[in-house]
Amino acid sequence: MTETFVQEFATRAGTATAEGPEWLEPVRRAAMQRFARTGFPPARDEEWRFTPIAPIAQGSWRPATGGAGRLSRQQLEPFVFGHADWATLVFVNGVYYESFSAGGSLPPGLRVASLAETLRSDGALLESHLTRHAPVEGSPFTALNTALMREGGVVHVAAGIDLAAPVHLLFVTTAEAGGTVAHPRNLIVVERGARASLIESYVTLAPGQSYWSNPVTEVAVAAGAWVEHTRIQRESESAYHVGLTQVDQQRDSHYRSFSLAMGGALARHTLHVRLNDENVETLMYGLYVTRGDQVADNHTAIYHDRPNCRSWEVYKGILDGRSRAVFNGKVFVKPEAQKTDAKQTNRNLLLSDGARVDTKPQLEIFADDVKCTHGATVGRLDEVARFYARSRGIPAAAADRLLTYAFAAEVVAEVALAPVREELDRLVLDRLGGL
């Protein structure tokens, strides 16, 4: 399969300058060479040990080429959750569709455009950020994305701007996505003192289709900026999704992420956040809800490189059927990162006997004056809570649904922006079969 990608790259190489600026070409080429050399991660690779990527590595994937011909606006409505006025970029099977996108009257200081368009028009912004945050050495999937990326969203929030409404990058697949791979590449730059909320959604109109999404999102949070980043992954339950979010934070900044994962036969999300300067705050929340034979994998890493920073992480999982979840949470604290305050929690609720969780906290602390804690739990619904609800007249099955929802709702409540929080709440409730 590796050769197919090398070939695709070679075929496209001739047209590369049409697609992007000169500086990008060697970056892409190096990424391709790297992928050609490493191939997909072998089973013995510690980073991928619990992630069954064989169906991706052994699959045969054509490049996704859009195909929104029969798509109507109404079909997209459920995914924009009633906020058609938010700046929204819509990508269908890997291709940007301006006709479905919204945001004609963007507030001053906000630029939202597709990657392909930005590659043609704003090389300067891209040159200082694109591929500068997510290293191709990080993973073969990132290398492949870097080599073959064509589309994605580029969001730039100018210094001091306070965005009232979120920006939504919406990736939709349709039946035509069957057997294809897309490598969406997003770049989000929030300049000094700005405040922004972003939503990144991966959704499908073809719940049974098998396809592969390989997105990479780079986020640059400048000094004093505040960013809320919500990621909604609702791919087809027969699809594969391997995504990376790579964040760089500067002094006095606040970055909070919420990662909801409900789709995919195999869905992995890697979230890496580097705290590059002092007084940075990072909040990472996650919720995965799986059933059937789904595998949900979350790998997170927080790099405490500088002193006086705080990171707070809570990932929760609800597993049914024979589904599996993997959680790996790394916290690296450099020797100079004194007064680091880091807390990591992973809690899993098993609804069936067949579900399984592999959870691994990994703390590497080289500073001595820090406060770092972690904890992981895997369990069932609390019998006492169940009896409490029943003793109030709530039937057993409803009590179970209520307590399962409560387990999820506790982490959803951490989303700051109300309309986003309410939508997540609705999605989770739908998925759990209501109350």
Partner 1 sequence: MDVLEIKDLRASAGGKEILKGIDLTVNAGEVHAVMGPNGSGKSTLAQVLAGHPAYEVTGGSVTYRGQNLLELEPEVRAQAGVFLAFQYPVEIPGITNAYFLRAAYNEIRKARGLEEVDSMDFLDRLEEKLKIVDWEPEIMSRAVNSGFSGGEKKRNEILQMAVLEPTLAILDETDSGLDIDALRIVAAGVNKLRRPDNAIIVVTHYQRLLNYIVPDFVHVLSNGRIVKSGGKELALELEARGYEWLEDAVGAAS
Binding site for partner 1 (CB under 8 A): 382-385, 387-396, 398-399, 402-403, 405-410, 413, 435
Tokens of 346: 């992973």
Least Cα distance to 245 among 196, 182, 302 occurs for 302
Residue with Cβ nearer partner 1 (102 or 399): 399
Q: For residue 255, with 0-12 CB atoms within 10 Å meaning exposed, 13-18 middle and 19 or more buried, which class applies?
A: buried
Q: What's 205's DSSP letter?
A: S
Least Å from the CB of residue 346 to partner 1: 16
Q: How far apart (Å, rounded) are the C-alpha atoms in residues 188 and 182?
A: 19
CA-angle at 160, arms to 276 and 103, nearest 5°? 105
Residue with Cβ nearer partner 1 (292 or 379): 379
> Residues for the chain: how many in total?
435
Least Å from the CB of residue 9 to partner 1: 47
Least Å from the CB of residue 258 to partner 1: 15
Residue with Cβ nearer partner 1 (22 or 382): 382
Residue with Cβ nearer partner 1 (275 or 381): 381
Q: Which residue has the tokens 């929340």?
A: 285
Least Å from the CB of residue 362 to partner 1: 27
Q: How far apart (Å, rounded) are the C-alpha atoms in residues 287 and 270?
A: 14
Least Å from the CB of residue 403 to partner 1: 7
Residue with Cβ nearer partner 1 (365 or 403): 403
Least Å from the CB of residue 399 to partner 1: 8
The interaxial angle of helices 140-148 and 24-38, nearest 10 deg, is 140
Q: Are 235 and 202 in contact (CB under 8 A)?
A: yes
Q: What's 250's DSSP letter?
A: -
Instruction: Please state, in angstroms and as integers, the Cα–Cα distance from residue 215 to each residue in 76, 195, 314, 355, 377, following that order.
Output: 20, 24, 23, 27, 30
Residue with Cβ nearer partner 1 (15 or 391): 391
Least Å from the CB of residue 105 to partner 1: 36
Q: How far apart (Å, rounded) are the C-alpha atoms in residues 360 and 373?
A: 13
Least Å from the CB of residue 431 to partner 1: 15
Q: How far apart (Å, rounded) are the C-alpha atoms in residues 277 and 265?
A: 38
Residue with Cβ nearer partner 1 (366 or 388): 388
Least Cα distance to 117 among 213, 202, 15, 21 occurs for 21
Residue with Cβ nearer partner 1 (90 or 412): 412
